[in-house]
């Protein structure tokens, strides 16, 4: 490999940002000044290539410090990591939070997604732009869901510097959002995570029982509230015993695909190839989803304990926690918790003195919904574009770095704690026969008490909405997020289980329940869903790359039409949608048409 | 002549192809089996010298028990599989994919493009006159080859050929994402400022004519490009000791482009800048 790095130079600031991550360069091969020894030594080869996975952290480092990524900065990073600049450019331009063009140091991401749009995001954006005017030093960017839907409309300010500063404003007003952007340090503190849990402190909660009860910064407090009993139990059972418990509990993945967790663990554990990896998918970017954020902010040690158990059971010694780039508070809480756990011997070479080595590394995403797809997530961690890989081979065989990998999302992992503390039979007795255990739901939209709710599987949609205080004039409920489907206001007796929703011709997806009353303009909402998929398609395969664009165009044409005037375009939408479902590489393209189709078929959206 | 390196003999496996019991060597793709059986499945991103990228999705077929359609070019045949290549469902997806492609890019120089559009009754115009197109101007920034991304279907073949599969130069990659994804060099710079070494192996694999010799591009613009008047002569490159095979495409007694036979077991169609572009001295009649 004969790499060509160009001659643009980094600024001191950019160089410092990269060196802070990678340490100072050792020789001129890495961009340092030339010394005598450099003449007799060449860097490269296999050893150098190993650092490619630091590309994404490196891009973050530059973007955090300067606000954008210049040619010189990118070339310097490439030199340090022995990554071809063309590939790094391809990666940098893949993520929405990075810019390769100059922009102001402060970026204000204003959510214009479903819940926020219904709560007045367009007016908020217009107001902010008017207040800030030109040359304000703030770049206002319209953003997909920020995972703060319970406090819609939401805005996130990121001010580059050393250190980078962030502030969240939600529910946002023009004044507060502008304040967050101009002075993130003096913006008011975010409300505690527990405020997103209307049931906080109630008896009988299993996944949320510590949220609002423990101090998320205190390991002692976590232990005082039952923390680390599950891990002790795991060590008593041994890896095979843990997998047996998880299998017997009937736990299935909560990320949307509903695959049996025990089977996945078993398949990974039994692979002869080493090492094994554990990946926690904390990239919850499905519009309307915020449960993982609330768990990570309110009870961060629970996730760390659960990851340790999963790693132990599957024979992994390293866990990657892939966290949404838009979750600054989760990042801080988890960084702190991991450091504490490490300092107390709960992570590291000898976890709890049991001779098991395990550690966790956080990797931040950078604004790409597709990176929630498991194989796209691997590519992202490895420093490639977040494009899904085609399956087979499956991750249990060839996952992260081509090694056997088990990937679970946050909610799935956290379920392992009660499984071990209460035992599989007691856990399996909760819920229904095929959907066992408790389930988290993210309720937002036109309800009195939006937030994360925990209910045993089997409760009906109506019961959940009653808890959340559904308002009069309910028109439709979106289940499962943008990749899910709409149901009508007269279908509230749908049982919230995997099998129940499937029977009703819809899906539970990631647990999104978004309510819309009859003031919400449905065609606009559908257009927003189409826009979302168009923006988030990775672009790899034709049905999705072009199909999402053609669908958005068709929905634009009929936004104010009904009946015969819309019929031609609806037929076109169906034809394109069918091919997208059948021929796309990954779940994004395969499900992008679901919600709109359900609105046409179930709600009569254009009649 | 196709030279097939002899490896260890492979076992045969049996599966059903359109109702017919079929035997293929282990490791064959469904597409291999289809071709062996004389079935014509359209393909665009599949390349005979590259690992299948399966990005275009025109080659999809139906596999019993699979929720979605399956790309024939990359899915390996498995014992007992039941594959149907010509169902309404598969044809529908192929037709839509062809329509989507033809509505967004220029397929006029894609070999067999027009034929497949006709066969599948694809009507790219039905997305309306306002359907978004790539609308890229050809990039003419050097004397050797032209990048006309308005014809690019993003098959990734050039990226793979320039990268770890052949050339190991890594001068190009996909930048941006979704409909805005484009093939680009670093910082979207002109080719002359990039890492490109002008081996032209990307042109060799490009299935649409998005990458072409400057000579071909200019002749097309002037209306003088005429493949029916061209002869092809395969010879040996005389520059260095490697001895790559060159195929000279000659029109009106002028070399108009140089390709290389893909079935050559040494070079698989790859050349370097001298063999690919250094032909002017041959026709220096001074
Ligand atoms: S379906 Fe969409 S997101 Fe998935 S691989 Fe294809 S283009 Fe990328
Ligand atoms: S330029 Fe040609 S080879 Fe490269 S992606 Fe486009 S169509 Fe494929
Ligand atoms: S094409 Fe290049 S490498 Fe091949 S024989 Fe000619 S000069 Fe040598
Ligand atoms: S934060 Fe705006 S829709 Fe989720
Ligand atoms: S030829 Fe098979 S997907 Fe492109």
Tell me which chain B residues have a C-beta less than 8 angstroms from the C-beta of A390. Answer: 54, 71, 74
Backbone angles phi, psi at B111, to 5 degrees: -55, 135
Tell me which chain A residues have a C-beta less than 8 angstroms from the C-beta of B169. Answer: 2
Using a cut of 0.90, tell me whether the model's pTM lies above it.
yes
Of the ligands numbered here, which is closest to the C-alpha atom of B167?
3
Contact B41, B34 (CB under 8 A): yes
Q: DSSP string of B135-171?
A: -PPPB--SSSEEE-GGG-----HHHHHHTTTTT----
Q: Taking residues A152-173, what's their average pLDDT? A: 96
**Least trusted range by pLDDT, from A42-56, A519-533, B26-40, B224-238:** A42-56
Backbone angles phi, psi at B11, to 5 degrees: -75, 155
Atom of ligand 1 nearest to the CA of A590: 1
Q: Which of B30, B47, B48, B52 to mutate to test the pocket of ligand 5 (most atoms within 8 A of CB)?
A: B52
CA distance A166 to A156: 7
Q: Taking residues A3-7, what's their average pLDDT? A: 85
B57–A543 C-beta distance less than 8 A: yes
Contact A555, A596 (CB under 8 A): yes
A84–B195 C-beta distance less than 8 A: yes
Instruction: Report CA(A514)–ligand 4 centroid distance (Å).
Output: 11
CA distance A549 to A573: 11
pLDDT along chain B (286 residues), means of 10: 62 95 95 96 95 96 97 96 98 98 97 97 96 95 96 97 94 97 96 95 97 97 97 94 94 96 92 94 78
Residue-level pLDDT at B1: 44
Q: Taking residues A94-122, what's their average pLDDT? A: 96
CA distances from A321 to A34, A352, A377, A489 (A): 38, 21, 11, 38
Measured in angstroms, the CA of B159 and the nearest CA of chain A are apart by: 10
Q: Which of B67, B69, B100 to mutate to test the interface with A (most CBs of A within 10 A)?
A: B100
Q: Which of B99, B168, B186 to mutate to test the interface with A (most CBs of A within 10 A)?
A: B186
Measured in angstroms, the CA of B194 and the nearest CA of chain A are apart by: 7
Which chain B residue has its CA at the smallest distance from A570's CA? B127
Helices within A469-604 (DSSP H only): 498-503, 522-536, 542-557, 563-583, 587-591, 594-603
Name the residue at shortest CA distance from atom 6 of ligand 3. Answer: B275
Name the residue at shortest CA distance from atom 8 of ligand 1. Answer: A538
A94–B93 C-beta distance less than 8 A: no
Q: pLDDT class for A42, splitting at 50, 70, 90? A: low
Instruction: Judge if the upstream peptide bond of residue A84 is cis by omega within 30 degrees of 0.
Output: no
A56 has a chain B CB within 8 A of its CB: no
CA distance A391 to A378: 13
Contact B213, B144 (CB under 8 A): yes
Q: DSSP string of B121-138?
A: T--GGGG-TT-----PPP
Q: Is the pLDDT of residue A47 over 60?
A: no
Tell me which chain B residues have a C-beta less than 8 angstroms from the C-beta of A545. Answer: 154, 178-179, 181
Contact A269, A312 (CB under 8 A): no
**Which SS3 state, helix, strand or coil, does residue A575 take?**
helix
Name the residue at shortest CA distance from atom 4 of ligand 1. Answer: A586
Residue-level pLDDT at B223: 97
A7 has a chain B CB within 8 A of its CB: no
Helix (H) or strand (E) holding A131: helix A121-132
A536 has a chain B CB within 8 A of its CB: yes
Say which of A6, A541, A553 has its CB closest to residue B186: A6
C-alpha distance across the termini of chain B, in Å: 38
**Which SS3 state, helix, strand or coil, does residue A55 take?**
helix
Non-local CB neighbours of A358 within 8 Å, separated by 6+ positions: A308, A311, A312, A316, A317, A318, A319, A347, A348, A351
**Least trusted range by pLDDT, from A22-36, A199-213, A358-372, A419-433:** A22-36
Contact B205, B47 (CB under 8 A): yes
Ligand 1 pocket by Cβ (under 6 Å): A 370, 388, 537-541, 544-545, 584-586, 588-589
| pLDDT, tens digit (0-9, with 9 covering 90-100), for B28-39 | 999 999 999 999
CA distance A448 to A460: 18
**Which SS3 state, helix, strand or coil, does residue A453 take?**
strand
Which chain B residue has its CA at the smallest distance from A586's CA? B68
Query: Does the CB atom of residue B262 touch ligand 5 within 6 A?
Result: no
- Rounded to 5°, the CA angle B281-B283-B286 comes to 85
Ligand 2 pocket by Cβ (under 6 Å): B 152-158, 183, 205-208, 210-211
Residue-level pLDDT at A258: 87
Q: DSSP strand E in A202-348: where?
A: 276-282, 316-323
Atom of ligand 3 nearest to the CA of B275: 1
Q: What percent of chain A is predicted at pLDDT more than 90?
A: 90
Contact A307, A228 (CB under 8 A): no
Q: Taking residues A568-574, what's their average pLDDT? A: 97
CA distance A440 to B224: 67
Q: DSSP string of A354-401?
A: SS--BEEEEEE--S-GGGGSHHHHHHHHHTS--PPPPSSSPTTTS-GG
Q: DSSP string of A416-428?
A: HHHHHHH-HHHHH
Residue-level pLDDT at A43: 59
A390–B71 C-beta distance less than 8 A: yes
Q: Taking residues A520-535, what's their average pLDDT? A: 95
A80 has a chain B CB within 8 A of its CB: no
Q: What percent of chain A is predicted at pLDDT more than 70?
A: 98
Q: Taking a contact as any Cβ pair under 8 Å apart, which residues of chain A between 404 and 433 contact chain B?
A: none
Say which of A85, A90, A534 has its CB closest to residue B174: A90
Contact B43, B31 (CB under 8 A): yes
Of the ligands numbered here, which is closest to the C-alpha atom of A117?
4
Contact B13, B79 (CB under 8 A): yes
Query: Does the CB atom of residue B155 touch ligand 3 within 6 A?
Result: no
CA distance A500 to B251: 69
A539 has a chain B CB within 8 A of its CB: yes
Query: Does the CB atom of residue B58 touch ligand 5 within 6 A?
Result: yes
Of the ligands numbered here, which is closest to the C-alpha atom of A541?
1
Name the residue at shortest CA distance from atom 1 of ligand 5. Answer: B43
Atom of ligand 4 nearest to the CA of A153: 2
| pLDDT, tens digit (0-9, with 9 covering 90-100), for A192-221 | 999 999 999 999 999 999 999 999 999 999
A382 has a chain B CB within 8 A of its CB: no
**Which SS3 state, helix, strand or coil, does residue B175 take?**
strand
CA distance A263 to A250: 10
**Least trusted range by pLDDT, from A43-52, A343-352, B200-209:** A43-52
Q: Is the pLDDT of residue A553 over 50?
A: yes
| pLDDT, tens digit (0-9, with 9 covering 90-100), for A330-340 | 999 999 999 99
Burial environment of residue B8 by CB neighbours within 10 A (0 to 12, 13 to 18, 19 or more): exposed
Residue-level pLDDT at A257: 82
Contact A108, B210 (CB under 8 A): no
């Amino acid at each position: 490999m004969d790499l060509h790095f160009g001659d643009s130079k980094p600024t001191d600031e950019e160089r410092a940002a990269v060196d802070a991550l990678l340490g100072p360069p050792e020789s001129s091969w890495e961009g340092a000044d030339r010394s005598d020894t450099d003449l007799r030594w060449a860097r490269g080869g296999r050893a150098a290539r190993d650092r490619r996975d630091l590309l994404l952290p490196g891009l973050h480092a530059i973007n955090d410090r300067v606000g954008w990524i210049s040619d010189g900065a990118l070339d310097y990073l490439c030199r340090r990591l022995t990554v071809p600049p063309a590939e790094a450019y391809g990666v940098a331009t893949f993520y929405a939070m990075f810019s390769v063009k100059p922009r102001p140091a402060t970026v204000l991401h204003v959510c214009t997604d479903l819940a926020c749009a219904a709560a007045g995001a367009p007016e908020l954006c217009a107001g902010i732009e008017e207040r800030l005017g030109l040359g304000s030093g703030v770049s206002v960017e319209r953003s997909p869901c920020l995972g703060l839907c319970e406090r819609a409309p939401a805005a996130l300010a990121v001010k580059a510097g050393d250190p980078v500063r962030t502030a969240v404003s939600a529910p946002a007003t023009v004044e507060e959002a502008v304040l967050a952007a101009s002075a993130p340090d003096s913006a008011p503190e975010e409300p505690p995570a527990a405020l997103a849990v209307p049931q906080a402190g109630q008896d009988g909660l299993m996944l949320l029982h510590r949220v609002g009860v423990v101090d998320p910064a205190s390991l002692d407090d976590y232990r005082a509230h039952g923390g680390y009993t599950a891990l002790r139990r795991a060590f008593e059972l041994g890896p095979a015993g843990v997998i047996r418990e998880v299998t017997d509990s009937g736990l299935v993945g909560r990320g949307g695909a509903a695959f049996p967790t025990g089977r996945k663990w078993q398949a990974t554990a039994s692979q002869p190839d080493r090492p094994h990896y554990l990946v926690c998918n904390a990239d919850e970017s499905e519009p309307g989803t915020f449960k993982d954020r609330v768990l990570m902010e309110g009870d961060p040690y629970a996730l760390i304990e659960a990851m340790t158990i999963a790693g132990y059971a599957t024979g992994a010694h390293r866990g990657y926690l892939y966290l949404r780039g838009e979750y600054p508070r989760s990042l801080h809480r988890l960084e702190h918790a991991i450091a504490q756990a490490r300092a107390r011997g709960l992570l590291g070479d000898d976890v709890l003195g049991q001779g098991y080595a395990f550690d966790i590394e956080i990797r931040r995403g950078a604004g790409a919904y597709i990176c929630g797809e498991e194989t796209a997530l691997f590519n992202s961690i490895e420093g490639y574009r977040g494009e899904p890989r085609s399956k087979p081979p499956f991750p249990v065989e060839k996952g992260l770095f081509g090694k056997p990998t088990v990937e679970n999302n946050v909610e799935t992992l956290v379920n392992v704690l009660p499984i071990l503390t209460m035992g599989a039979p007691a856990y399996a007795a909760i819920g229904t026969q095929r959907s066992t255990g408790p389930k988290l739901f993210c309720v937002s939209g036109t309800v009195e008490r939006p937030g994360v709710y925990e209910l045993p599987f089997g409760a009906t949609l109506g019961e959940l909405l009653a808890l959340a205080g559904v308002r009069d004039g309910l028109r439709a409920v979106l289940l499962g997020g943008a990749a899910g489907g709409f149901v009508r206001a007269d279908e509230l007796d749908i049982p919230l289980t995997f099998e129940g929703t499937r029977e009703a011709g819809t899906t539970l997806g990631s647990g999104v329940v978004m309510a819309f009353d009859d003031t919400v303009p449905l065609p606009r909402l559908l257009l927003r869903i189409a826009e979302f998929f168009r923006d988030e398609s990775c672009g790899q395969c034709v049905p999705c790359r072009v199909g999402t664009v053609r669908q958005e165009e068709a929905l634009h044409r009929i936004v104010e039409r009904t009946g015969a005037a819309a019929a031609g375009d609806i037929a076109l939408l169906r034809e394109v949608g069918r091919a997208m479902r059948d021929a796309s590489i990954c779940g994004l393209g395969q499900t992008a048409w679901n919600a709109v189709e359900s609105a046409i078929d179930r709600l009569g959206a254009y009649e | 002549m196709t030279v097939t390196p002899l490896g260890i003999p492979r076992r045969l496996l049996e599966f059903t192809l359109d109702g017919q019991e079929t035997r293929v060597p282990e490791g064959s793709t469904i597409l291999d089996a289809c071709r062996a059986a004389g079935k014509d499945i359209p393909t665009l991103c599949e390349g005979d010298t590259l690992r299948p990228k399966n990005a275009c999705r025109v080659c999809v077929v139906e596999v019993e028990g699979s929720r979605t359609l399956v790309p024939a070019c990359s899915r390996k045949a498995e014992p007992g599989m039941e594959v149907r290549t010509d169902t309404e469902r598969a044809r529908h997806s192929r037709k839509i994919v062809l329509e989507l492609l033809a509505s967004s890019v220029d397929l006029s120089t894609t070999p067999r493009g027009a034929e497949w559009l006709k066969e599948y009754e694809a009507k790219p115009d039905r997305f309306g006159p306002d359907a978004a197109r790539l609308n890229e101007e050809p990039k003419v920034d050097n004397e050797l080859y032209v990048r006309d991304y308005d014809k690019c279907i993003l098959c990734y073949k050039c990226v793979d050929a320039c990268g770890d599969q052949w050339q190991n130069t890594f001068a190009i990659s996909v930048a941006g994402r979704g409909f805005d994804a484009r093939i680009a060099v670093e910082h979207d710079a002109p080719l002359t400022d990039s890492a490109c070494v002008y081996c032209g192996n990307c042109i060799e694999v490009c299935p649409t004519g998005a990458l072409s010799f400057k000579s071909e591009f200019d002749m097309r613009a002037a209306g003088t490009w005429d493949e029916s008047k061209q002869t092809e002569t395969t010879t040996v490159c005389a520059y260095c000791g490697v001895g790559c095979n060159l195929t000279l495409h000659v029109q009106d007694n002028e070399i108009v482009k140089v390709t290389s036979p893909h079935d050559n077991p040494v070079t698989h169609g790859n050349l370097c800048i001298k063999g690919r572009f250094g032909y002017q001295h041959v026709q220096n009649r001074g």
